Amino acid sequence: MSRPAWARFSLRARLLVLTLLGVAAALLLAHGVLSNLFREEVQRQVAQGLQAQLDLLTTRLEPDAQGQLDLKGQNPADPRWQQPYGGLYWQVDLPQRPAAWRSRSLWDSQLNLPPDQLGSTELHQHLLSGPQGEPLLVLERRVQWPEQGSARLAVAADLRDSHTAVARFERVLGWSLLVLLAVLLLAAWAQVRLGLAPLAELQRALAALRQGQQPRLQGHYPAEVQPLVDDFNGVLAHNEAVLERARTQAGNLAHALKTPLSVLAQAAQAASPSAPGLPELVQEQVAQAQRQVDWHLARARAAAAHSVQRTAVLPQLQALVRTLARLHPDKTLSLPTSPQSQALHFAGETQDLLEMAGNVLDNACRWARQQVRVQASITAQGLLTLCVDDDGPGVPLERRAQVLRRGERLDEAQPGHGLGLAIVQDLAALYGGTLQLQDSPLGGLRVLLTLPSTPGAAGPQNPAQPSGLAQEPGPASR
């Protein structure tokens, strides 16, 4: 599946493009808003001037001695009112006499006012074409007299100068905003360059790490990048510990297989195939070698586990109880549950939980007289606790350390279900848990297994040589 085109761009290019688009859109919007405000303000100023002239024209229109409307007073002082097509115009329409009076600037033309229903003294505003086709802003009102009737008064101004001013403002504003855009893009480029500088430093540190120049990522990074660096260094440390344990496991396994292989080689050289006792010797040494392989394979798999899986505890315990009940029909296995039991989880692989719990339960069943009880709960610290009690002979206090001690055997029992309490202790230690032996209220032994319930509740331990790793394993039997 091909990557989208945008995914090929670098972070620097993405940030700069997004900044360019965002700033350009904002400046275009600002240009439009400011230009419109300036245009409206210019038109408002022109309209205010025209309204003052319209008021002046209204005061000049009065009835004469014969009761007829007449214009009195002097014309406005602005020379544009007198200059033909000077840009300022006024006109008075009577009901029967359109353009009865008009400014000299209209010359031989008149304002073509649109049909409009004006109330008395009501002010209307229009945009029309002037005598020479120029744009005009027209203000008009109707004045009413009781006897003389009404008159329609209008004043107009040429908007070409206003449009020129607006165009000049928009041009200057456009160039100013372009300069601002360039300055902002330069600032954005500097910001992106400085902001991404730690990533370039991180890249150099990774290159040095890959070339073997340093064992960890070195340097000081911003608060947003430092957690990533710390986590990466943590992964490196974990991988180093796993590699070291794998090397140790390989050496231990090779050392552990030396003895049975040497015995087999000497027996093959010293005796004929028909010699008495050779088959038994071969079976014994092969079984011992198989136990060594099982032990070290399980330890290697568990040592490499750094899982964030969550395994439901209750279904696994129920399956183990059903299986062991068939293997030990003369024993009574009980698994008290509660509504909270469904929420119990183990922060690790299902197989590891089965190996630890299965071995402890099988050990309890083999030594119990009649009753075995297993309980699961969560502590206040968020840890999973598996408590297995039996009514067997128990283990004396002075011998409990020997049961869990590396390389110690209390008997030569054949391997049963699981890998022994020593490997259970090692598996639990790798998950940050513990294994404890106590007196059981049933009269026998209590095995208390504490494990993480959620990822991070108890971190995996990374000792260079966990207990039970270097010596020959034997079932930790009582």
CA distances for 123 relative to 103, 129, 260, 382, angstroms: 20, 19, 117, 81
- Let me know if 291 is exposed, middle or buried by CB neighbors in 10 A (0-12, 13-18, 19+): buried
Which residues fall within 8 angstroms of residue 214, CB to CB, at 6 or more apart? 205, 208
The pTM score is 0.48
**Torsion angle defined by CA atoms of residues 224, 229, 230 and 231, in that order, rounded to the nearest 10 degrees:** 100
Identity of residue 362: D
DSSP secondary structure letters along 91-145: EEE-SS-TTSEE-GGGTT----PPP--PPBT-EEEEEEE-TTS-EEEEEEEEEEE
Question: Look-up: residue for tokens 């855009």?
Answer: 181
- Kind of pairing, strands 332-334 and 371-378? parallel
Q: What is the pLDDT of residue 437?
A: 92
Q: For residue 396, give both structure tokens.
A: 């004396």
Phi (first) and psi of residue 86, to 5 degrees: -75, -10
Q: State residue 296's pLDDT score.
A: 63
- SS3 for 355? helix
All residue ranges of the chain with pLDDT < 50 are: 306-307, 406-407, 409-419, 459-477
Percentages (nearest 5) of helix, strand, coil residues in the chain: 50, 15, 35
Number of Cα atoms under 13 Å in the Cβ half of residue 187: 7
| Residues 81 and 103: beta-carbon distance below 8 Å | yes
pLDDT for res 173: 94
Instruction: Enumerate domains of the chain plus CATH numbers.
Output: 9-215 (no CATH), 226-302 (no CATH), 305-452 (3.30.565.10)
Q: Which of 331, 446, 332 minimizes the C-alpha distance to 385?
A: 446
The pLDDT of residue 419 is: 46
Q: At 146, is the secondary structure helix, strand, or coil?
A: coil
Helix (H) or strand (E) holding 445, with range, is strand 445-452
